Amino acid sequence: MAAVQEMARLQRLLFEVERDFVRTATTLIYRVGEPELKYLLCQHVWESAGHARFLRERGREMSGFGSGDGVRDDLRRLFNEAIMPSDGATALAGFYRVLKPALLAAYRHYLQATHHLADWPSLHLVEEFIGDEDRHAREMRAFLQDTPEVSVWCEHLRSALAALGGLLGEHTRIPLPEPFVWESDTRRYAHPATCNRGKYPTCSSVFSYDPEETPIVRPWLVDPATDARVIRIMVYVWLMMEMDAVDYLATVFVDTPDAPFDLHHDLARHLWDESRHSAFGYRQLPKLGIDLMTVEHSLDLYNILVQMPPHERYAMMTMEFEAGSFPTKATVMDRIRELNDFEADTLLAFDRNDEQNHVRYGHRWLPEIMALCGDTRPVEEFVRATQARFAETAKVYGNQTPHALPPETRLTGSKILRLVQSQS
């Protein structure tokens, strides 16, 4: 059984690497600004979660893989180090110029080390994952920067990786150079107080009751007299602003290092869904005549929730924001159907279906995250207390982002109405 156990050992290491990539690469999402880059990172995280799940399923068929989900200390230390740069572009380069190439090399090593007939089920998986890793490298290439800071950081990570002998220990270990300082030993990682939206204008919220203030006018969404074409544009802005959910949900992974893998797997799916929903609006609004540089990005939810512990963030997301959106979104869907817009109908239907699954995730995983955070209250009591805590926290950290654009420039409800009327 020695051959089986050796390949199971390598699969176990690959599983641990993929699952810790999911835990830590999510910290990049709210630190980079380009929406397409955020969407891509969410996709890569979800695909890595899938790799880890399939590796675990196959590994458990083999003697010696182990039954737990834990990550060994030396790998965890490497990934904890990778998140330490305060600059998102530098951290991104470390992941995609050092750690991801090392993972690709590890998969290729597995192919060389195993017997292609005896271990055919693993062979098939690894070949698929190599294809994904090659694509990830191509997709990310345009977003990677070349600066002196990036070069220094990547060399730092390469030294840490070489001291392990590669992710699988497939190379001779090279002692750390002198002087080498583990950044993760000198300070704790901390989420930035606000998220990065790159070149796009920002504000506190895109929702209000004033059509001269924001693009989404709450009463108009449910008013039968509102033109359905106005509602369509407003709901696409709403969907694009699910970037809020992308950014604050991404903070939960690294704050729950001891979570079972299945929890992080479902959070990764949730994250990828939210990124797709945001992309619905981001890609559809220009087709309807909206200049994206006139659409301010709302920051309030991230700014408030990052002040709260992870179980409270997750509770507000699933038990309050998503569960509470269903009545309004049902009305919106009915109005959009008046337009005979198959694409809009389809996007909203998938958004609704995904959100229902997310609330199910909340019921499944909120008690687990509460336990990880040491909270023993009944769930219903905890949710009520968290809603009250959110309201109090919002008084301090909410409404602190002024409009980046003047009223004559930014998209508002009144401008949406005039645009639709001009197209009649």
Instruction: Identify the CATH number of the domain in which residue 22 sits.
Output: 1.20.1260.10
Q: How many domains in the chain?
A: 2
Does a structural domain hold residue 37? Answer: yes
pTM for this one? 0.96
Q: Is 182 found in the same domain as 207?
A: no
Q: Is 223 found in the same domain as 142?
A: no
Q: State residue 326's pLDDT score.
A: 87
Q: State residue 2's pLDDT score.
A: 78
pLDDT 10s digit of each residue in the chain, 424 long?
678 999 999 999 999 999 999 999 999 999 999 999 999 999 999 999 999 999 999 999 999 999 899 999 999 999 999 999 999 999 999 999 999 999 999 999 999 999 999 999 999 999 999 999 999 999 999 999 999 999 999 999 999 999 999 999 999 999 999 999 999 999 999 999 999 999 999 999 999 999 999 999 999 999 999 999 999 999 999 999 999 999 999 999 999 999 999 999 999 999 999 999 999 999 999 999 999 999 999 999 999 999 999 999 999 999 999 988 889 999 999 999 999 999 999 999 999 999 999 999 999 999 999 999 999 999 999 999 999 999 999 999 999 999 999 999 999 999 999 999 998 7
Does a structural domain hold residue 194? Answer: no
Residue 309, φ and ψ in degrees, nearest 5: -70, 165
Last residue of a domain, one of 186, 221, 250: 186
Q: Which ranges of 224-378 would DSSP assign to H, the alpha helix?
A: 228-240, 243-250, 261-284, 300-305, 310-315, 323-336, 342-372
Q: State residue 131's pLDDT score.
A: 98
Q: Is 250 found in the same domain as 161?
A: no
Q: Is 207 found in the same domain as 173?
A: no
Q: Is 117 found in the same domain as 32?
A: yes
Query: Across 151-201, where does the E strand assignment appear?
Result: none
Reduce the secondary structure of 286-321 to three states and give it as a string.
HHHCCCHHHCCEECHHHHHHCCCCHHHHHHHHHHHH
Q: Is 173 found in the same domain as 244?
A: no
3-state SS assignment for residue 203: strand
Q: Is 141 found in the same domain as 98?
A: yes
Residue 298, φ and ψ in degrees, nearest 5: -85, 140
Last residue of a domain, one of 160, 186, 212: 186
Does a structural domain hold residue 197? Answer: no
Long-range contact pairs involving 358-363 (C-beta distance under 8 Å, separation at least 24)? 358/270, 358/273, 358/317, 358/318, 358/322, 359/318, 359/319, 359/322, 359/323, 361/266, 361/267, 361/269, 361/270, 361/318, 362/314, 362/315, 362/317, 362/318, 362/319, 362/322, 362/323, 363/318
Q: State residue 287's pLDDT score.
A: 96
Last residue of a domain, one of 186, 213, 246: 186
The single residue listed with the structure tokens 């790998």 is: 75
Q: Is 406 found in the same domain as 367?
A: yes
Does a structural domain hold residue 191? Answer: no
The single residue listed with the structure tokens 């890609």 is: 283
CA dist 135 and 408 (Å) reads 43
The range of the structural domain enclosing residue 16 comes to 2-186
Q: Is 79 found in the same domain as 45?
A: yes
CA dist 181 and 214 (Å) reads 48
Q: Is 227 found in the same domain as 178?
A: no
The single residue listed with the structure tokens 């090659």 is: 134
Q: Is 233 found in the same domain as 129?
A: no
Q: Is 180 found in the same domain as 226?
A: no
